[in-house]
Amino acid sequence: MSNIKVETPSDREVRVTRAFKAPAQLVWDAHTKPELMRKWLKGYDGWSMPVCEMDVRVGGSYRWRWRNDETQTEFGFFGKYLEVIPSARLVFEEHYDQGSFDVAMMKEPAIITNDFEEADGVTTLIVTMAYASRAERDDAIATGMTDGMGHNYKYLDAWLAG
């Protein structure tokens, strides 16, 4: 159940597949209701999600912001919903909001597609992140290298969360 699959279907996309023991309706709710989403979409410990606004309809906007409780560093994502099919498909653009974070990335928005597929009480969630170019993805790879130095790649939480 908890097996996660990460693939790169093209040189500018990443796809994550994961099954949940719950009906699609609930998994959808967890992605579209702020009071539910901020409970799980937090990445590493020590981060909270002070801003989680979502107007889930085509053309509606969302704004997410995370904060490191210790350093008060903030960053986020924002954008518009492009496709909304309840319990089935959620597509939105993702702009990076650097906030007070010292990592710049993703000048062009990525397009995030969430597909929810329910069968026998199990919902398979397929998240496809399409970056504007492979260069954007390479930027992310470059930024990821800070990992070895043990600091500031936590923006990835949000980015991945898309």
Partner 1 sequence: MVQFSETRLDASFAALSDATRRGVLEQLGRADASITDLAEKFHMTLTGMKKHVGVLERAGLVTTEKVGRVRTCRLGARALEEEAAWIERHREIWEMNYARLDALLAELQSAPQKKPPKKK
The reply to whether 44 sits near partner 1 by the rule CB under 8 A is: yes
The reply to whether 57 sits near partner 1 by the rule CB under 8 A is: no
Count of residues that interact with partner 1, criterion CB under 8 A:
42
Q: Which stretch binds partner 1 (CB under 8 A): 23-31, 52-60, 75-83, 101-109?
A: 23-31
Nearest Cα neighbor of 130 from 144, 110, 115, 148 is 110
- The full DSSP string for 126-156 is EEEEE-S-HHHHHHHHHHHGGGGGT-S-THH
Q: Which residue has the tokens 């990592």?
A: 103
Considering only 68, 124, 139, 152, the residue that binds partner 1 (CB under 8 A) is 139
Q: Which stretch binds partner 1 (CB under 8 A): 56-64, 87-95, 106-114, 151-159?
A: 151-159
The reply to whether 77 sits near partner 1 by the rule CB under 8 A is: no
> Which helix or strand (DSSP H or E) is residue 6 part of?
strand 4-7
3-state percent helix, strand, coil for the chain, nearest multiple of 5: 25, 40, 35
Measured from the CB atom, the residue of 27 and 130 that comes closer to partner 1 is: 27
The reply to whether 103 sits near partner 1 by the rule CB under 8 A is: no
